[in-house]
Chains A and B, each alone.
Chain A
Amino acid sequence: MLKLAARLAWRDWRGGELSLLFVALILAITSVTSISLFTHQVKQSMVAQGANLIAADLRLTGSQPISEDWRTKADNLSLQQAQVSQFQAMVFAQEGMQLASIKAVSDSYPLRGELSVGAAAFDLGTVIAQGPKRGEIWPDSRLLSSLNARLNDTIDVGQLSLKISHILITEPDQASGFSSFAPRAMMHLQDLAATAAVQTGSRIKHRWLLAGQADALTGLQASITPLLAPGQKWQSPNDGNANVAATLDKAEQFLLLAGSLAVVLAGVALSLSARRYSLRQAKHVALLKCLGLKPKQLRLLYFSQMILLALLALLISLPLAWGLYQALLWVVADYIQGASLVPPFEPFLLGAGTGTLCLLAFVLPPMLALAKVAPAEVLRQSSSQSKTNKTHLAIGFSAVIALVYWHSQSVLISGALIIGVAIILLLLALLASQLIKAGNKIRPYLSQGGKIGLANLARRKHQNSLQVAIFGLALMLLFSLISVRSFLINDWQQQLKQDTPNLFLFNIYQQQRQSLLDSMEEQGLTTQALTFFPIARARLTEPKLQSRRGSRELNLTWSPDLPIGNRISGGQWWNDGATGLEVSVESDYARDMGLSLGQELTFNIAGIEKKAVLSNLRDVDWSSMQPNFFFVFSEPLVEANSASYMASVYIAPADRPKLGPLLRQQPTISMLDVDQILQQVQRVVAQLSLAVESILVMVLGAGVLVLVASIQASIDERRHESAILRTLGASKALIRRILWVEYASLGFVAGLIAGLGAEALVAVLQQQLFQMPMQFHWPLWVLTPFTGMIIIGACGWWFNRTVVTAPPLRTLQQT
């Protein structure tokens, strides 16, 4: 039977019967596998970037030194190790002294990420492989400026004099929180003892950096965790900078969403091609039954054929996907580094699984149903058109749900897609009947081609509803993707525009504000975008929060106006005439801590208790790189003169050398340089744009395949009709016009509905998934109907060209 199946499959293949089915299957497997490989690599790259943020794959932090036993265990597991000890100490240079945060690092630091150094303060920096050697110290720009020191000067740390060999510009595990803005320096760990700066009882933080195989790391972590002292904790790449992590999450969700769309489209194409194939096979099956093949044997025959087809498709698709993935990597080589040469297994499994599921759900049911074709079918003059089988539809729909969920791993994405599909199908059915009515009204005013084209639309009411649904769905998915890409990347890139703040200034007192502005103007730095935020440190005392996060000291601010980029999600922002102290809380924080609107909160601010009513909740965009606060009060919490301020400002690269003199003029002001974080975020965005554009090409391919499959589904009927029309004297030009009117009208309606569906789907995704404000995309409403008309009209015309060119006699003889 297998031999017969192979022989028949080969003959069908040679006759072109299986080619569309095969191409759809290859496209499904290739797109899913390559997208999955790419997503896998992007995720790896993201984890690597996360690893950069802690300079390791895993990090243990605490105030206790790392035990020798633990280090031996790590050695035995062939893990790379580095040690970092961080403490604060006064440092002295010839012309000054300064309290600085010193990081003493071992030879192998950093295990992940890069160190960059410069020759002068606020240089942009060049990458260096290793930290300072013994006897050297690398002060950062801030410390160098404060000490008024230069390269090759010496700095005393405790009892040890160290030579300035480089200026520290960036370090991978540079903390980006507000607590880490003290001037910094880096030295060698083995010099630490000689400084005598760290004594018993000194505040010192020890970090143990580890890198290597995930299994070994997990094993080590599991064996050491029970032995950890209080205060010692593990940190993984995922615990890195929260802003970057949020961005990476969005990126991953987007790539998975794109992957799901390609699968749905490929599934629709497969389903259509399988339906056409099974319809064309009905006579063959009847004939084979006449020749004595039993239903069981026929089922086995078609099952074997499908298995052979799947194996061949896998054989072609998987290497093709690998090649495509390599091409994608090549495109984004500047952005994704460290791609593994050994292909991960999971994407191939996902691709093969998707292909198998597609085959089982979309292709096999109509194939197996062929065994039910009555042998007497062979005696009939024309093929009886089988009706759409509801069971097959249900199987296909379940498979779509399963595939979308499998690929997105998100109930929300799956739900949004499936609800969108259900709504658009309903709208399509309603609009299809409206189109027919409208078509009937305008038909008398049209030329002959237009009249027959619209009459064809009306005549194939049900079939056209299905085609409009498919075209509309394909277009909706494509335009949703384009819109999502547009708002995710373009809107967000606009948000992170050129003058996004890259420098945060702290410890500014009321009386220093004017002098800071004066100093900046004196140095020729722009002060237009400089915004001051008052800060008071406080603890929330009532209600008492049990979590560590809730009980720690908070940075509070106050403002009469809602901070830029914040959005009220509950309650109301205060009016000018409001009485009593009110507080606005970031909505996620309020939810996590169990705080609710109208609740009275008590804060301890430098020993003074203040009560405030929680009058509103705010949504804060943490990715905006603007100063954001969990708590904003309606009135000042401390006297203006005793308030401390923070400010954010954008410093252009050319202006960076001016920061040294500025900080010398304002020695008490602390600074946090977020340029590195911004560069990281912008790199991810750039990488994402390219990735999405590459994936979009595959989704477009799947969309075109759906068009071709649905054109192929009705081509035999059209060829027959065209032959009759031409026999009756219609010219080729007239038939072309008829086809154009029919397909362009289909495209116009499908595009109109696609615009509506895409707008709705994007609105749901924008609000629910990406937490971005909803926007009305009016170009969609203009663009989609005309795009639909042009794409579908052109595809209809091109793929139906044999309808026009085939000799009518031969067509009539064959049917």
Chain B
Amino acid sequence: MPNSTPFLAARNVSQIVANPQATQADDLHILDDVNFTIEAGESVAIVGASGSGKTTLLGMMAGLDSPSHGQLFLANKDLTKLDEEGRAELRKHQVSFIFQKFQLLPSLTAIENIMLPLEVKGSSDANTLATQYLNHVGLAQRGHHYPNQLSGGEQQRVAIARAFAAQAPILFADEPTGNLDTQTGDHIVELLFELNQQHHTTLVLVTHDLNLAQRCQRRLTLNAGQLTERLDA
């Protein structure tokens, strides 16, 4: 183990949910002693069966939740040593996220949803930048539509534009194509890898889609909370 702080890593990470009506032995181990390291600019897929703990691990790596045990590193910082204020600061500058269910704010138009991370960062030209990203995902004409006026694919493209607009060095994506048809899914995958390759953005995604996982440089497999890595030849 090198002494320098890793870019993105887990060290003996476990997540245990206590069962209040049973003994300690019956506690649920969502993640069990997980270890990995991811270098800046890599593309990594986390795969596994439903309920294997993929989304939990992704959320923890992004600093959205804390593990029961172990250490997590994000952008060369030990997440477990940071309080919520510190983690928030780190997320603001280092992380963007694409959610499985898009998580667009229903009271905001498409363009306003994209503007949101820019506004949180205090950007003065949020509108201009957001428009550029909206155009980039091919929704130039839908900027003033609300999420419930957009199809699932369009909503996911807005969510991707929002993640791009954050201009963060690390992008986490939870089942980015899970709710989409093949054609739309392919288009979104192209956008993600374009970002990874052109901007050297680290891409960590959770997926069931084997084709998508194949396109990543590395694939981490979660099985009943335990992680194994399969390296390509």
Q: Which residues of A contact B (CB under 8 A)?
A: 4, 7, 11-12, 14-17, 283-284, 287-297, 374-376, 378-379, 381, 810, 813-814
Contact = CB atoms under 8 A, between A and B. Distances in A.
24 contacts: A4-B120, A11-B107, A11-B112, A12-B107, A15-B106, A15-B107, A17-B107, A287-B105, A287-B116, A290-B91, A290-B95, A291-B91, A291-B116, A292-B89, A292-B90, A292-B91, A292-B92, A292-B95, A295-B84, A375-B64, A375-B88, A376-B64, A378-B103, A379-B55
A374 B105 contact: no
Interface string B72-111: 0000000000001101111111010101010101111000
A179 B85 CA distance: 81
B59 A379 contact: yes
Nearest to A13: B107
A283 B105 CA distance: 8
B88 A289 contact: yes
A568 B106 CA distance: 69
A231 to B, nearest CB: 76
A17 B90 CA distance: 30
B100 to A, nearest CB: 8
- Most B CB contacts (10 A, CB to CB) among A292, A294, A376, A813 go to A292
Contacts of A15: 106-108, 146
Contacts of A283: 103
B104 to A, nearest CB: 9
A807 to B, nearest CB: 11
Contact of B101 (A7, A16, A291, A381): A381
A4 B148 contact: no
A7 B62 CA distance: 27
B65 A374 contact: yes
A805 to B, nearest CB: 15
Given A376-B65, A378-B64, A378-B103, A11 B85 contact: no
Nearest to A290: B97
B166 interface: yes
Most A CB contacts (10 A, CB to CB) among B55, B58, B59, B148 go to: B59
B39 interface: no
**Chain A binding surface, main DSSP class:** helix
Contact of B107 (A14, A376, A378): A14
A7 B88 contact: no
B119 interface: yes
A203 B101 CA distance: 97
Given A11-B112, A376-B59, A292 B103 contact: no
Given A11-B108, A284-B105, A292-B91, A379 B64 contact: yes
Contacts of B97: 290, 378
Q: Which 10 A-B pairs have the closest CB atoms?
A: A292-B92, A15-B107, A376-B65, A375-B64, A294-B88, A376-B64, A292-B91, A294-B85, A291-B117, A291-B120
A17 B58 CA distance: 31
A290 B62 contact: yes
A293 B120 contact: yes
Contacts of B59: 375-376, 379
B187 interface: no
Interface string B162-202: 00001000000010000000000000000000000000000
B174 A379 contact: yes
Interface in B178-232: none
A110 B174 CA distance: 87
B121 interface: yes
B84 A294 contact: yes
A376 B60 CA distance: 8
B152 interface: yes
Contact of B148 (A12, A288, A290, A810): A810
A191 to B, nearest CB: 82
A813 B95 CA distance: 27
A121 B45 CA distance: 108
Contacts of B120: 4, 288, 291-293
A814 B102 CA distance: 11
Contacts of B166: 291
Contacts of A12: 107
A297 B106 CA distance: 22
A755 B103 CA distance: 47
Contacts of A289: 64, 88, 91
B149 to A, nearest CB: 10
Contacts of B174: 379
Nearest to A297: B88
A537 to B, nearest CB: 81
Given A15-B107, A379-B56, 7 more contacts: A4-B120, A288-B116, A291-B120, A292-B95, A295-B84, A376-B59, A379-B59
Contacts of A14: 107
Contacts of A378: 64, 97, 99, 103
Given A15-B106, A287-B105, A374-B64, A296 B92 contact: no
A293 B116 CA distance: 11
A376 B99 CA distance: 11
Contacts of B116: 287-288, 291
A477 B99 CA distance: 48
B49 to A, nearest CB: 17
Given A296-B85, A810-B148, A291 B107 contact: no
A376 B55 CA distance: 10
A376 B84 CA distance: 12
A114 B28 CA distance: 88
